[in-house]
Amino acid sequence: MVTRLNTVAVGHARELIATGKVVRDTRDDWSEAAPSADEENEFIDEHGWGEYAKWHLGVDSEQSEETKGRYSFPYGDFTTVRRGGIISLESRAAQNDHDDIAKATKKLLELIDET
């Protein structure tokens, strides 16, 4: 598995933050706010894989483009960036040696806290 930073998703998150589409919740809130498998499937059916990818900071190019296994490190609920999700991702990425993803999440968190 080769998970790399999804720069398109970073840009999407930055755009959402800039337009105020952020929920300033805590890390503990993310477990309740994270989309369920059914919600993910519904989103994919309505918007396609390209839009689904924009909500994940990690992408594994060795996985097929149209599988959930290709995408990791979700940061929002398909409408807003969740601060709790970003916090959760930062520590998980750092623990798993995904330094580029950890750095990106730290910058996103800083951006959220500045606005």
- List, for residues 2-36, the tens digit of each pLDDT value: 899 999 999 999 999 999 999 998 888 888 889 99
Helix axes 99-114, 83-95, angle to 10 degrees: 150
> Distance between CA atoms of 1 and 62, rounded to whole angstroms?
7
Q: If you average pLDDT over every residue of the chain, what do you get? A: 94
Through-space distance between the first and last CA atoms of the chain, rounded to whole angstroms:
35
Task: Indicate the domain borders of the chain.
Answer: 3-114
45-73 average pLDDT score: 95
Question: Structure pTM?
Answer: 0.93
Sorting pLDDT into bands at 50, 70 and 90, what band is 47? very high
Residue 79 has pLDDT above 70, yes or no: yes
